[in-house]
Amino acid sequence: MSQRRPFRYSRLMSVLTAGYAVYALAEPRHLGSAMDAGRGELESYDNVARVFGVRDLVVSGVALTGKEPATVQAAMRIRIGLDVADGLLLARQADDSGVRTKVLAVTLGWASLNVLALRADRRRDRV
């Protein structure tokens, strides 16, 4: 009989975030494009996207390989905090209100999905 693996939803979100991280590393220009950045700003946003990619791979790796509940929970809390911080910082850089709204919707939406995953896992796994 197979044993349930704890933190199923948190680990799923970690796989999805790792997917974004790979995309951010492979196509860093996506961030500047999403921010409607000018030509002079694109390289800076490419660097930010690369930082996001490496960082998100590391945090996802910790969540996916963590054997202790506290490790997975810590990784998820870090991801949630980083998503909120990303949203606030990127929104502050957006000149256009539509871009600002889009940035906040994506980052805070992703943070919210991670909160829901962590809460569902904690209830399901009684951690």
| Helix (H), strand (E), coil (C) string for the chain | CCCCCCCHHHHHHHHHHHHHHHHHHHCCHHHHHHCCCCHHHHHHHHHHHHHHHHHHHHHHHHHHHCCCHHHHHHHHHHHHHHHHHHHHHHHHHCCCHHHHHHHHHHHHHHHHHHHHHHHHHHHHHCC
- 17-48 tens-digit pLDDT: 999 999 999 999 999 999 999 999 999 999 99
Any domain includes 2:
no
Taking residues 65-87, report their average pLDDT: 97
Q: Specify if 88 maps to a domain.
A: yes
Closest CA to 91 of 108, 78, 77: 108
Structural domain boundaries enclosing 86: 8-125
pLDDT digits (tens, 9 = 90+) for 49-72: 999 999 999 999 999 999 999 999
Six-digit token string for 110: 């992703």
Residue 3 lies in a domain: no
Domain count of the fold of the chain:
1
Taking the complete model, does pTM exceed 0.85, yes or no?
yes
**Is residue 71, in this structure, part of any structural domain at all?**
yes
What is the Cα 18 distance to its own chain's centre?
A: 8
Length of the chain: 127
- 72: in domain: yes
Tokens of 55: 């960082």
Is residue 1 assigned to a domain? no
Does the pLDDT value for residue 4 go beyond 80? no
In a domain, 53, yes or no: yes
